[in-house]
Structure 1
């Protein structure tokens, strides 16, 4: 084999990924072994060693890059998960703050509801002028009721419902043949909820079951003036 063939093969294998260059090198190596050209054999073996070293180095770099990509992807996934959790927490906190603010405002207006209900029960307009004033008054209350409803405010169900200490405040117990023990039989003051949040409990009288005679638990003068109201929801005028 001529020296220029070996040089040509050596130059050709600089592109280590080119199949024809590797094939030429192998052919040169075989020919050198057949003719006993130890120098060429040694040179080619050195080249092969260099190629192997470079391949190993490239393989290590590829492996390192692959690990970096995997690590980067995992970091991105964790970062995205952290951001999603932060967004959910922020949204939950925002809704909580908004609900608390709404609850405080509505709770401060509940005495106004009591006053409207009390007036509705007590006023008995007779003259045309009184009827007009009453109609105007009730129109204002109706608007107020609609606003309360739009904010998802609802009255606590009472009469005929089982007593629930989470929703009701029992201020009296009375024997009843109509209602079983533990059932609410009368409402003294309405309770209200904002969604699932209790704004205030309903003041109620609870049945103690049937008995030979009624036993009325006295209520204070302030509570006794509050009239019974329906419990299906905020009244429509």
Structure 2
């Protein structure tokens, strides 16, 4: 390019219009080619930038898809486990009833109880390994999301709203409720009779008796 410019200067100084015109035409052609190359480079840069953005979006979409798939897989697995465990819960009830009803008087009854307890222990260990937990009841505040109240009763031992008795165990699978616990809930100590009312109650039979004597 330097040599071309040097020839161009000499042609101008010598008044060589043809050489000057040819060089100017060549320089114009070079300038046009340069501009075309700049436009192509700019277009390629835009395509590369757009390609990077598309790649980032595709990668984000894939990560979201992977997370959704994993969450769905865990949900399906949890639902399947829940259904199986729910179908086994009546077995727990049967073991509990058998334990309460069986009277250990003979050696045979003791052997049967030991067999029952061994099987029940294995079953409990399996449930524990599957992240199954028992819903806490007696002495705990009543929680409608965990407990099913079938009765309210006065209690001198527990405050109002505290569970006094468990009638059927409840179970959790992780944070999911498999079955609510069936319970009785304290209604508080109740209203105590006043001493005056008690005295009137005690005196009433004597008054009636005196009336009968008449």
If the TM-score is normalised by the length of the shorter chain, which range does it land in?
A: 0.7 to 0.9
Q: Which runs of 5+ in 2 are unaligned?
A: 193-214
CA distance in 2, matches of 1:32, 1:160: 110
CA distance in 2, matches of 1:178, 1:23: 107
CA positional deviation for 1:111:
0.7
**Greater relative contact order: 1 or 2 (C-alpha under 8 angstroms, separation 6 or more)?**
1
Q: Which residue of 1 aligns with 2:160?
A: 181
- 1:30 is aligned, of 1, 5, 9, to 9
Q: Is the partner of 1:65 in helix, strand or coil? A: helix
Aligned-residue RMSD, C-alpha: 1.3
CA distance in 2, matches of 1:190, 1:41: 105
CA distance in 1, matches of 2:160, 2:11: 110
**Which runs of structure 2 are paired with 1:50-65 in the superposition (5 Å)?**
50-65=29-44
Corresponding pairs, count: 192
Does 1:86 find its partner at 2:65?
yes
Q: If the length of structure 1 is used for normalisation, what is the TM-score? A: 0.77
CA positional deviation for 1:178:
2.3
CA positional deviation for 1:176:
2.0
Does 1:153 find its partner at 2:132?
yes
Q: Which runs of 5+ in 1 are unaligned?
A: 1-21, 214-237
For 1:77-131, what per-residue CA distance to the aligned partner results, in whole angstroms no more than 9, with x for missing partners? 2112111111111111111111111111100110100110111122222233322
CA positional deviation for 1:179:
1.8
CA distance in 1, matches of 2:64, 2:124: 38
Judging by fraction of residues, say which structure has more helix: 2
Query: Where does structure 1 differ by over 4 angstroms across 4 or more consecutive aligned residues?
Result: none
